[in-house]
């Protein structure tokens, strides 16, 4: 079983989406956790667009990386530049991967326009996660 930790700034959108897709595509081959430098709570737009794609987000919480510092991971994946530059070295962990995604929480405009931004970022994360699972 491959253990993956996904990190972003607030563990409210991008890392949560990546966790959902890595679990979905990895099935019983992976154990995935997500966390942030801070915990900003689960973003309702993220929950909405993930549900639209058939991914129910069951974690129910936003976590900080401090909660997992005692665990070893095979892969540490940062999904934003801020997390990459501020993530402490994770002792005992294998690969460190980075793929930055636009923060959909910065979306402006109408409800429809915001959902479109979240959907676009979701789809980018989905493709990346599927490719990552296919390579491991």
Task: Name the residues annotated as catalytic.
Answer: 8, 80, 87
* DSSP 8-state class, residue 89: P
d(CA 25, CA 28): 9
**Which residues are CB-neighbours of 38 under 8 A, at least 6 positions away?**
9, 10, 11, 64
Under the phi-then-psi rule, with left for phi > 0, alpha for psi from -120 to 50, and beta for the rest, what region is 76?
Answer: beta
The one-character DSSP state at 64 is B
> Are residues 26 and 52 in contact, defined by beta-carbon separation less than 8 angstroms?
no
**Token pair listed for 51:** 């549900």
């Amino acid at each position: 079983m491959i253990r993956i930790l996904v990190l972003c700034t607030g563990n409210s959108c991008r890392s949560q989406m990546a966790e959902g897709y890595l679990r979905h595509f990895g099935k019983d081959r992976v154990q995935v956790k997500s966390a942030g430098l801070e915990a900003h709570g689960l973003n309702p737009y993220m929950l909405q667009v993930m549900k639209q794609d058939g991914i129910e987000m069951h974690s129910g919480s936003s976590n900080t990386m401090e909660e997992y510092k005692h665990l070893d991971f095979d892969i540490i994946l940062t999904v934003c530049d801020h997390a990459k530059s501020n993530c402490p070295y994770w002792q005992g962990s294998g690969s460190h991967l980075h793929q930055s995604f636009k923060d959909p929480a910065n979306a402006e405009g109408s409800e429809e326009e915001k959902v479109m931004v979240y959907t676009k970022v979701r789809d980018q994360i989905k493709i990346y996660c599927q490719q990552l699972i296919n390579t491991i």
